[in-house]
Amino acid sequence: MTDQYDIVIIGCGVIGSSIAYHLSEYKQKRILVIDKGFPLSGTSGSTQAWVWVHNKVPKWYGELSMYSAELYPFLERKIGDVEYKRTGGIAPFFAQTDRDKALRLVEEQAEVGIKVEVLTRDQVLEKEPALSPKIAGATYSDMDGNVNPFRLVELYIKAAKRNEVEFSFYNPVIEMVMEKDHYKIYTKNKKDAITTERVILAGGPWSKEIGELLGLDIPIKQVRGQVIITEPLAPFLKHTIGGMRQAENGEVLIGFSKEEVGYDRRTTMDVIQETAQMAINYIPSLAKANIVRSFSGVRVIPEDGFPILGKIPDKKNAYIAAMHSGVTLSPLVGTLMAELVMEGETSICLERYSLKRFMNYA
Amino acid sequence: MDKSTIVCRCEEINVDEIEGAIRMGASTFDDIKRLTRCGMGPCQSKICMNLVRELIANNLGVSISEIPPPRMRMPLKITRLGILAGKTSSSNVVSVFDEASLEAGER
């Protein structure tokens, strides 16, 4: 028996599973999603999962994030409760000199309709009384929020399954061969090749290795982020704070660190301690909270920081979606990639996000 | 075992929920954890670790030795955030040298 599909998606994180679900809404194609591990074992399962808009710059990147955040309530109607909460987001600053930068952000984002406010210390403390009075101010937007990443990916997969998408987990892709009108994909668990008309690379931080199978150099970096988690606390944080959030069950997730250490996912004492200090600088009373666990995730950051989306130049019927902030962007990226594959064009122009920008054309 | 038997006491996850995750393809403790929250509570899977591994082994028809244990992370045991941040407020640790007093009658 040959395994023939119209579309194969490599990678079942928040982006791969969202693309699969949105493609499956057309109910026209035979779709397979392959993952080297199990969903949520990688980047999508080790995140604070902010749906964060307000300081994504330049404004066109902010706009992309805004449209995606606005899709969440509707997405929830379609796939089920992913615990999306539009909490509003606060990004505190500690020096009065940062206020100028904050005001410039307000102007930049206003051009695309993202409403950002600059709060004074008193306004910050009125919104979040637990925050430190040493804070000088903050930028604020009611567009930011957060979501439960575990529920999100699980429900993308379940909704896609209802639309007859097939999944193959613990099955790394080891070879890809481009033939005249299809791709042959060899995986660890199957002797015979899987053949597909189209292939979509959604490997997140592992996009580099997957790209190499097609002879591509995908310009991304792996960046480790470490997070600490408190025991469940009585609700005291209403907003998503740049750096931390309180989950529905009362746990507070804290952390905002960046280290380029490849695929190393260990947590390290130095970053954990700095993270604890950051927590106390923001919220002094957290010093008394108990920490239950730390975790770390490998994020993907394209070389220039912006999403890589769209058709792969010079490879027929091959597509890529690799980006930081996949949780924020997944509803929109899934929608747009499905449009691109099914209709050949997208309702928001993806030209500037093409892999082409990294390639040197003679 | 009854399907409603609680396996993870911290998060109150029962046999049925764990077997549901296994049916979805989960084959390690951590796979199940991320789908169900089993093992994510205060004890960090110290109680449910082997119960869950046993359930996986039984459901997949393999030996429990083939099921990897969950990933352990700092701080291993619940720890005050302030302590992690380096706040040292304890004054109970004293110097042995200072304990000794050479002045007659002081002790």
Residue in A323, A328, A294 with CA at minimum distance from that of residue A306: A323
- Contact between A204 and A218 under an 8 Å Cβ cutoff? The reply is no
Residue partners of A157: CB distance under 8 A and separation at least 6: A12, A17, A20, A21, A33, A39, A167
Where does B6-73 sit in CATH, by number?
Answer: 1.10.10.1100
| Whether residue A343 sits in one domain with residue A209 | yes
- Contact between A17 and A34 under an 8 Å Cβ cutoff? The reply is no
- Residue A238 belongs to domain with CATH number: 3.30.9.10
Q: How far apart are CA A211 and CA A218, in angstroms?
A: 6
Cβ-count burial A46-78 (b if 16+ within 10 Å, e if not) = bbbbbbbbbbbeebbbbbbbbbbbebbeebbee
Tokens for A274, please give them: 């700095």
Residue A61 counted as domain residue: no
B84 in contact with chain A, both atoms CB, cutoff 8 A: yes
Residue A34 counted as domain residue: yes
Residue A205 counted as domain residue: yes
| Residue B1 buriedness (CB in 10 A; 0-12 / 13-18 / 19+) | exposed
Q: How many CB pairs under 8 A join A and B?
A: 82
- What's the pLDDT score for residue A359? 86
DSSP for A223-249, written as a single string = EEEEEEEEPP--S---SEETTEEE-TT
- What's the pLDDT score for residue A181? 92
Q: What is the pLDDT of residues A9-49, one digit of tens each?
A: 999 999 999 999 999 999 999 999 999 999 999 999 999 99
Give residue limits of the domains in chain B: 6-73
Q: How far apart are CA A346 and CA A336, in angstroms?
A: 6
B31 in contact with chain A, both atoms CB, cutoff 8 A: yes
- What's the pLDDT score for residue B89? 67
Residue partners of A348: CB distance under 8 A and separation at least 6: A64, A67, A332, A336
- How many structural domains compose chain A? 2
- Contact between A254 and A227 under an 8 Å Cβ cutoff? The reply is yes
Shortest CA gap A112–chain B (Å): 37
Beta strands in chain A (DSSP E): 3-10, 31-34, 50-51, 89-93, 117-120, 137-141, 145-146, 166-168, 173-178, 183-187, 194-201, 220-230, 240-241, 244-246, 252-254, 290-302, 308-311, 318-322
| Whether residue A343 sits in one domain with residue A296 | no
| Whether residue A130 sits in one domain with residue A22 | no
Taking residues A207-227, what's their average pLDDT?
97
Residue in B34, B49, B31, B46 with CA at minimum distance from that of residue B76: B46
Counted residue by residue, chain A has a size of 362
Residue A64 counted as domain residue: no
CA-derived radius of gyration, chain A: 21
| Whether residue A168 sits in one domain with residue A109 | no
- What's the pLDDT score for residue A175? 97
Selected residue with higher pLDDT from B107 and A362:
B107
Domain boundary among A255, A276, A302: A302
Q: What is the pLDDT of residues A338-351, one digit of tens each?
A: 999 999 999 999 99
Q: How far apart are CA A166 and CA A169, in angstroms?
A: 10
The mean of the pLDDT values for chain B is: 92
Domain boundary among A254, A282, A302: A302
Taking residues A81-107, what's their average pLDDT?
96
Residue A349 counted as domain residue: yes
Least confident residue range of A1-10, A184-193, A282-291, B59-68: A1-10
- What's the pLDDT score for residue A362? 40
**Does A289 contact B81 at a Cβ distance shorter than 8 Å?**
yes
The answer, yes or no, to whether residue B107 has pLDDT greater than 70, is no
Q: What is the pLDDT of residues A259-314, one digit of tens each?
A: 999 999 999 999 999 999 999 999 999 999 999 999 999 999 999 999 999 999 99
Shortest CA gap B61–chain A (Å): 18
- What's the pLDDT score for residue A2? 62
Chain B interface, best mutation among A293, A294, A295, A296, by max B CB count within 10 A: A293
- Contact between B74 and A226 under an 8 Å Cβ cutoff? The reply is no
The mean of the pLDDT values for chain A is: 96
| Whether residue A231 sits in one domain with residue A204 | no
Identity of the residue in B35, B37, B84 whose CB atom sits nearest the CB atom of A272: B84
**Does B84 contact A276 at a Cβ distance shorter than 8 Å?**
yes
Which chain B residue has the Cα nearest residue A251?
A: B41
Residue A196 counted as domain residue: yes
**Does A293 contact B73 at a Cβ distance shorter than 8 Å?**
yes
Q: Which residues of A touch B78 (CB under 8 A)?
A: 231, 290-292
Selected residue with higher pLDDT from B96 and A237:
A237
- What's the pLDDT score for residue B56? 98
| Whether residue A208 sits in one domain with residue A158 | yes
CA-based torsion, A94, A98, A102, A105: positive or negative: negative
The answer, yes or no, to whether residue A324 has pLDDT greater than 70, is yes
Residue A252 counted as domain residue: yes
- What's the pLDDT score for residue A1? 46
Q: How far apart are CA B95 and CA A28, in angstroms?
A: 77
Domain boundary among A275, A302, A329: A302
Reported as a pLDDT band with limits 50, 70 and 90, residue B103 is confident
Structural domain boundaries enclosing A292? 86-143+221-302
Q: How far apart are CA A62 and CA A74, in angstroms?
A: 20
Helical packing angle, A14-24 and A326-343, nearest 10°: 40
Task: Give the neighbor-by-neighbor strand order of the sheet with A290-302.
Answer: A117-120, A137-141, A89-93, A240-241, A244-246, A252-254, A220-230, A290-302, B79-80
Q: What is the pLDDT of residues B70-102, one digit of tens each?
A: 999 999 999 999 999 997 766 788 888 888 877
Residue in A146, A15, A22, A173 with CA at minimum distance from that of residue A85: A146
Q: What is the pLDDT of residues B6-57, one digit of tens each?
A: 999 999 999 999 999 999 999 999 999 999 999 999 999 999 999 999 999 9
Q: What is the pLDDT of residues A45-75, one digit of tens each?
A: 999 999 999 999 999 999 999 999 999 999 9
| Whether residue A243 sits in one domain with residue A117 | yes
| Whether residue A233 sits in one domain with residue A194 | no
Residue A197 counted as domain residue: yes
**Does B85 contact A280 at a Cβ distance shorter than 8 Å?**
yes
Q: What is the pLDDT of residues A98-137, one digit of tens each?
A: 999 999 999 999 999 999 999 999 999 999 999 999 999 9
**Long-range CB contacts (< 8 A, 24+ apart) of A276-279?**
A276/A228, A276/B81, A276/B82, A276/B84, A276/B85, A276/B86, A277/B85, A277/B86, A278/A243, A278/A254, A279/A228, A279/A243, A279/A244, A279/A252, A279/A254, A279/B81, A279/B85
- Contact between A15 and A152 under an 8 Å Cβ cutoff? The reply is no
- Residue A23 belongs to domain with CATH number: 3.50.50.60
Q: Which residue has the tokens 């490997």?
A: A203
